[in-house]
A and B are shown apart, each in its own frame.
Chain A
Amino acid sequence: NLESGRRTDEWSQCLRSIAKHRDRSAFARFFKQFAPLIKAFALSGSTLSANHADELVQEVMLKVWQKADGFNPDKASASTWVYTIARNCRTDLYRRLQKFDTPLSADDVSLDQDGEEPAVMLHQRRTRDRIRSMMDTLPADQAHILAKVYMEGKSHSEVASELDLPLGTVKSRVRLAIQKLQIQMED
């Protein structure tokens, strides 16, 4: 809807000011909007302590400042961009806590969203808008599973045992949600 369109624009513009003018007051506004969501994301898996959650918020926001230059509003909304940074930082933090000694960061391994072809960008934007508008129409049981998978960062089998459901049910709910959002898929 219109309002969320405007809201998205506001934060995209905010990121542009941060990138172009190194605008600290824009950064502070951005922090006030997104830091509480990042903290909620950090704590949603309930395996990180409050200290680690704060550490994650700092790390993600510092990356926002450092990487704002690479933000392209034609490819992603501000919140999608922040979400991917938060997701990758959280994955790296888990691995650090498990004492992984690795040359690969989650950034290295995650999907590179740097495709520059206009057709791809338009496609991504349409997909993104459609998905945004349809998320609210998902049945509660599907939305619940998606939240566990994407926000709490649980594997399908962890979700299955936590909710006492067969693994097949978890898989089919994820599949149904994705079909409902009309993501093209065959297999």
Chain B
Amino acid sequence: MAKFHPDLQMLTEFTAGTLSLAQSACVSMHLTYCTKCQEISEAQTAMAASLFEDLEPVSVSDSQLDIVMSRLDEDAPLTYPKESKGAQSSTPAILQRLMQGDFSDLTWKKITSSLRISYLTTGDPYYEFALYHIKAGGVIPEHNHRGSEMTLVLEGGFSDSDGTYHAGDFLFREAGDVHSPAALADEDCICLAVLDAPLKFTRMRHRWMNPFLQLKAS
């Protein structure tokens, strides 16, 4: 059970459908690990539905009904079950869809001896959506954030000065926060990071990396 959660504002904007696409995909994946946030989001949906019922109706012309009636025989779009079945189902379905395979099928870009990054395409032009692979015991060099960073732990875990995070845990860093996360000693860590501006490494000896970390939103 996850111990670190999106705050109420984020959960509210997620439920209202107003969070950016890449960020909502990340929050949605947290919910697959977290019944507590699921319950809050469900209750918020009930609240929203009650507001919806009480809206002042706006008249719709009969011709609109005719148009819809004439389209009822169209084929419904194909849908796929969201929950994948089978051995690899610990990976959230959204991610499986975006990766079109598993972690080993991705193209990983080596950043340091212990950090590799794979960029995924969500179609959200404002946010970068990437998987970070940190080797067991490896450290991501100290960096600060020029924008926000949302992180969801998928496998293994990592820690920083504020705590230790395991699969399902969700973190949000604001612009200006500085930290230096380290993977747990016994297991590689894979996490999802959603950024609205590239990281900036603060220590001189890591500065050369910054050009590699131009924001890759797509």
Contact = CB atoms under 8 A, between A and B. Distances in A.
B150 to A, nearest CB: 14
A102 B124 contact: yes
Contacts of A14: none
B189 to A, nearest CB: 24
B42 A124 contact: yes
B91 interface: no
A42 to B, nearest CB: 8
B39 to A, nearest CB: 7
Interface string B79-120: 000110000000000100110000000000000000000000
A150 B42 CA distance: 13
Contacts of B7: 187
B163 to A, nearest CB: 14
Q: Which of A28, A82, A104, A113 has the most CB of B within 10 A?
A: A104
A88 B45 CA distance: 12
Given A36-B58, A112-B82, A127 B17 contact: no
Contacts of A84: 45, 49
Nearest to A90: B17
A174 interface: yes
Highest count of chain A CB atoms <10 Å: which of B9, B47, B57 = B47
A109 B18 CA distance: 12
The binding surface of chain B is classed by DSSP as helix
Contact of A110 (B13, B17, B40, B60): B17
Contacts of B56: 40
Contact of A100 (B41, B49, B125): B125
B123 A101 contact: yes
A5 B68 CA distance: 29
A157 to B, nearest CB: 9
Nearest to A129: B46
Interface string A1-45: 000000000000000000000001001100110011101110110
A183 B64 contact: no
Given A58-B71, A109-B25, A100 B124 contact: yes
Nearest to A138: B47
B38 A135 contact: no
A83 B28 contact: no
Residue among A27, A83, A95 having the largest count of chain B Cβ atoms under 10 Å: A83
A62 B72 contact: yes
A103 interface: yes
Contacts of A76: 49
B164 interface: no
A66 to B, nearest CB: 4
Nearest to B4: A187
A86 B52 contact: yes
Contacts of B54: 135
B94 to A, nearest CB: 6
Given A62-B71, A177-B47, 14 more contacts: A35-B65, A37-B53, A58-B68, A79-B53, A88-B17, A101-B123, A102-B122, A102-B123, A111-B42, A127-B42, A150-B16, A150-B52, A154-B18, A155-B18
Interface of B: 5, 7-9, 12-13, 15-18, 21, 24-25, 28, 31, 36, 38-60, 64-65, 67-69, 71-72, 74, 76-77, 82-83, 94, 97-98, 121-125
20 contacts: A31-B68, A36-B60, A57-B64, A91-B18, A100-B125, A102-B122, A103-B97, A104-B94, A109-B21, A111-B28, A111-B38, A112-B83, A132-B46, A150-B44, A151-B55, A153-B17, A154-B18, A156-B12, A174-B8, A178-B40
